[in-house]
Amino acid sequence: MGCIQSIRCKPKSFRDSIMVLEVNSSIDSNPTSIDESSSVVLRYRTPHFRASARVLVPPVAGKESWTVGWIQACNHMEFYNKYGSKG
């Protein structure tokens, strides 16, 4: 099968010629809401994150098809819950 969804299989010259030309991102302006409808789970509903990019890729073989996607990750979150005078 080869290296499905892996650019590491391509020659270094091919990998080095891929360029990100533009990146745009935004977060919706609505605030995070807290869903307390469950007696077991406290659910946070956060604003949607949106991103787009323009990527320049060198010519590829006629039988190849590419899908370019995003991986979303978070390395830090802070929540401050206030319940009346209890903090």
- Taking only the tens of pLDDT, the chain with its 87 residues reads 345 556 777 778 877 888 989 999 999 999 988 898 999 988 888 899 888 899 898 887 778 777 777 787 888 888 777 777 765
Q: What does the block give as tokens for 50?
A: 């949106």
Q: What are phi and psi of 22, to 5 degrees?
A: -160, 140
Beta pairing partners, 19: 56
